[in-house]
Chains A and B, each alone.
Chain A
Amino acid sequence: MSTSQLALSVLLLPVVGAILLAGRGWRLPRTFTKIVGPGVVWASFAATLVLFFNNASGDFTYWTWIKSGSFEVPFNLLVDNLSIFMCLVITGVGALIVTYSVGYMEHEDGPSYARFFTYMDVFIFSMLLLVLAGNFVFLIVGWAMVGLSSYLLIGFWYQRRSAVLAARKAFVMNVIGDAGMILGTFVLFVSYQAITYSGVFRAIAGLHECVYPRACIAPLAHPLDSPTLELAAFLLLVGAIAKSAQLPLHTWLPDAMEGPTPVSALIHAATMVTAGVYLIGRMHPIYDIATYAHGTVAIVGAVTALFAATIAIVQTDIKRVLAYSTMSQIGYMFLAVGIGAYAAGFFHLLAHAFFKALLFMAAGNVIHAMHDEQDMRKYGGLFRQLPRTSWSFLIGSLALVGVIPLVGFFSKEQILGAALSKPDDSLALAVWVIGAATALITGFYTGRMWWMAFGGKPSPERPVAVPHEARLVMMVPVLILAALSVVGGFIQTRALGIGPSSFSDFLFPVLGRMSWEEGAGVVVAGLVTMALATLLFLAARRFYVERSWKPWSSRLPWAQRLLERKYYFDEIYDSAFVRPMDGIADVGLRDIEKPVFDGVVVGTGRAAVAGASSLSLTQSGYFRNYVLVFVGGAVVAAVLLLIRANS
């Protein structure tokens, strides 16, 4: 099988699964769904592994989708180390999560069970299309389709009003991003007359005397700026921000937790929300030149990281804590790609996919054991009762905090180290300060989550006194991810200044290396940050288990309130956009729709009736009347003809 066929099969295997499960698939025995749903994702993962081990690369055009004059849109897949890496994350973590869903969704009835796996397979396909697409048109198609599958899965329990509202919110927010993507693509197409990545990047390289791939240039050494590229980069950034739930288009992600937990793990933690990071990495030839947009990426990432981490401190719903933590960690990735440390950003993407999918699935096990109770205040003391889930959750939490030697330490500290050591860049230093502060807050809220849910004594309000550990099919994926969170960091230990850098070497052909050396203080700074974050993780025990320290919120009630209302973003959007829009719609209905449009339509009908009834007076019914008119007309016509003939 050639590389191009292999790449196509990676993409199409999930579609085959979705087609098999859609429609009447649920009439077959449930085992069919259980095998086909995860099976196709595993098959796709296997095909990706073959691509990976063959060191495959290339830009394969399969057919021409649109051809009109000189405008041509091919269907081409770009296989390079970046897209192979993304496919590995999507299909690998995806396969684990879809397998986990086999157990988690067990309580659904037949049609819903098959529907869930259909949606999951469609999502995997859309995400693969997004990362494999070799041109902007199919990028947008994939981009919109992940938005659609996210909508379908958030609203999976469509009998619940809150789920439907959350799905709608996510969809609307994502469409804002889609609009940015489409406009950005228009700008690029109009400026460079190219729609494929290779065409656009070649045109940019030709115009700006830098060479693709980026490895050959020193970015920012000669900042070549271009208003067109800035515009395109900002518009694409809108898409990235909306999809990755960064400020200010973030409000949909916490609500998206209305979906089933495997969906939160796969779509709203591991894959879809990292699409923005992928986009900026993929578009790095543009962002390397568009320095303002590039700086904005870093600022947005840093601010979101801090912002979301502070909100996570006061959330009581375990999934919402994880949702805000996801926003925060994606902020780190934005921060990394925003300062040009692309490989560090993608390494954190990998690490985050491991430990956040792990946390979500372990949380799913807990929620299952607690009969769908998600309020952490009503847990407590789960550590002894759910040992395997608890240990996995602890590993995930510590990886999130960034405790050595878990994967989170190496990825997060590498980002911070890159920011700290970037020479002559006050922006990088500023985002380092924010990033380090966020790392400390991360330690605290993760500790709070851990101690509240698993530490101490069982809460009196707990719905289940003696919970049961999850079934094997739900436990094995969690344990695999826990193992990966432990050992994953050892492929890239640059944060300690020693050891391998296999990950950044792998992405080097596409993304290049950082153009600056990491300074000497990086290791020390990293270890200090890690130590402080760990201390805060432990300090949370004093607040939430022993209660020997007074809650911080008793001293700062206004801060607690501000955080609990999530900085009033929903309220601000509600009064700034939703209610004025409702008002405009009401005015439009009352003052425009009814009088003008309805008036025109009804008026046309009335005018026709009135005209017809007045004209019908001429229909006297008297034969001789008609003849008289006819003869009179003939005479007039004859007279006119005579006059004309004689003149």
Chain B
Amino acid sequence: MSGLSIGGSQIDASWFLILAAILFIIGTAGVLVRRNPLVILICIELMLNAANLTLVVFSLQLHNLEGQLFALMSMTVAAAEAVVGLAILVDIFHVRDVEDIDELSEMKG
């Protein structure tokens, strides 16, 4: 196992990956079980950040800056995505007050 040197102390990379996995699972579970649209958006951000953390960890471990670059890119995209998602939600809230995402099922086939 190769460690990462952070602030002078050696920490094993797997801890970070486990942290990322936990964050990702929390996010996924949130998306699946929560009903409030805003909370779902927040959970999606959580999943994205878990992915970003993984990218950064591997970037450090492999001494390859591309991973960090990719994380920056992904943040930008996440910001844009949040803007779009929030805009849709704001628009929906204009029409009616949605507390449960299951109320938005007009696209049923």
Closest A residue, CB atoms, query B29: A631
Q: A628-B32, A631-B28 are in contact. Are A623 and B109 (CB under 8 A)?
A: no
Determine if B107 and A619 form an interchain contact, defined as CB atoms under 8 angstroms apart.
Answer: yes
Determine if A619 and B32 form an interchain contact, defined as CB atoms under 8 angstroms apart.
Answer: no
State which residues 590-632 of A face B: CB under 8 Å. 615-624, 627-628, 631
Our pick among B32, B104, B105, B107 for the contact of A627 (Cβ within 8 Å) is: B32
Which residues of B lie under 8 Å from residue A627 when comparing CB positions? 31-32
- Shortest CB-to-CB span from A257 to chain B, Å, is 69
Which residues of A lie under 8 Å from residue B91 when comparing CB positions? none
Determine if B28 and A622 form an interchain contact, defined as CB atoms under 8 angstroms apart.
Answer: no
Bin the interface of chain A by size: 10 to 19
State which residues 61-109 of B face A: CB under 8 Å. 101-102, 104-109
Which residues of B lie under 8 Å from residue A624 when comparing CB positions? 31-33, 35, 101-102
- Shortest CB-to-CB span from A631 to chain B, Å, is 6
Which residues of B lie under 8 Å from residue A631 when comparing CB positions? 28, 32
Determine if B32 and A621 form an interchain contact, defined as CB atoms under 8 angstroms apart.
Answer: no
Determine if A623 and B108 form an interchain contact, defined as CB atoms under 8 angstroms apart.
Answer: no
Which residues of A lie under 8 Å from residue B32 when comparing CB positions? 624, 627-628, 631
State which residues 438-457 of A face B: CB under 8 Å. none
Which residues of A lie under 8 Å from residue B33 when comparing CB positions? 624
Our pick among B40, B101, B105 for the contact of A620 (Cβ within 8 Å) is: B105
Which residues of A lie under 8 Å from residue B108 when comparing CB positions? 619-621
Our pick among A616, A619, A623 for the contact of B101 (Cβ within 8 Å) is: A623
Our pick among B40, B101, B109 for the contact of A618 (Cβ within 8 Å) is: B109
- Shortest CB-to-CB span from A295 to chain B, Å, is 78
Determine if B109 and A619 form an interchain contact, defined as CB atoms under 8 angstroms apart.
Answer: yes
Closest A residue, CB atoms, query B37: A623
Closest B residue, CB atoms, query A631: B28
Our pick among A615, A617, A621, A628 for the contact of B106 (Cβ within 8 Å) is: A621
Rounded to whole angstroms, the CA-CA distance of A324 and B33 in the bound complex is 97
Determine if B109 and A617 form an interchain contact, defined as CB atoms under 8 angstroms apart.
Answer: yes
State which residues 31-45 of B face A: CB under 8 Å. 31-33, 35, 40
Which residues of B lie under 8 Å from residue A618 when comparing CB positions? 109
- Shortest CB-to-CB span from A624 to chain B, Å, is 6
- Shortest CB-to-CB span from A598 to chain B, Å, is 30
Rounded to whole angstroms, the CA-CA distance of A617 and B108 in the bound complex is 8
Determine if B109 and A621 form an interchain contact, defined as CB atoms under 8 angstroms apart.
Answer: yes
Instruction: Convert A140-169 into 0s and 1s, putting 1 for each residue whose CB lies closer than 8 angstroms to a CB of B.
Output: 000000000000000000000000000000
Determine if B102 and A622 form an interchain contact, defined as CB atoms under 8 angstroms apart.
Answer: yes
- Shortest CB-to-CB span from B18 to chain A, Å, is 16
Determine if B101 and A621 form an interchain contact, defined as CB atoms under 8 angstroms apart.
Answer: no
Rounded to whole angstroms, the CA-CA distance of A617 and B102 in the bound complex is 17
Which residues of B lie under 8 Å from residue A623 when comparing CB positions? 40, 101-102, 104-105
Q: Which of B105, B107, B109 has the most chain A CB atoms closer than 10 A to its own CB?
A: B109
Instruction: Convert B50-68 into 0s and 1s, putting 1 for each residue whose CB lies closer than 8 angstroms to a CB of A.
Output: 0000000000000000000
- Shortest CB-to-CB span from A198 to chain B, Å, is 73
Rounded to whole angstroms, the CA-CA distance of A627 and B105 in the bound complex is 14
State which residues 461-500 of A face B: CB under 8 Å. none
- Shortest CB-to-CB span from A639 to chain B, Å, is 15
Rounded to whole angstroms, the CA-CA distance of A627 and B41 in the bound complex is 13
Rounded to whole angstroms, the CA-CA distance of A425 and B28 in the bound complex is 105
Rounded to whole angstroms, the CA-CA distance of A228 and B32 in the bound complex is 82
Which residues of B lie under 8 Å from residue A615 when comparing CB positions? 109
Q: Residues on B close to A: CB < 8 A? A: 28, 31-33, 35, 40, 101-102, 104-109
A-B contact pairs, 9 of them (CB 8 A): A618-B109, A619-B108, A620-B108, A621-B107, A622-B101, A623-B40, A623-B102, A624-B31, A631-B32
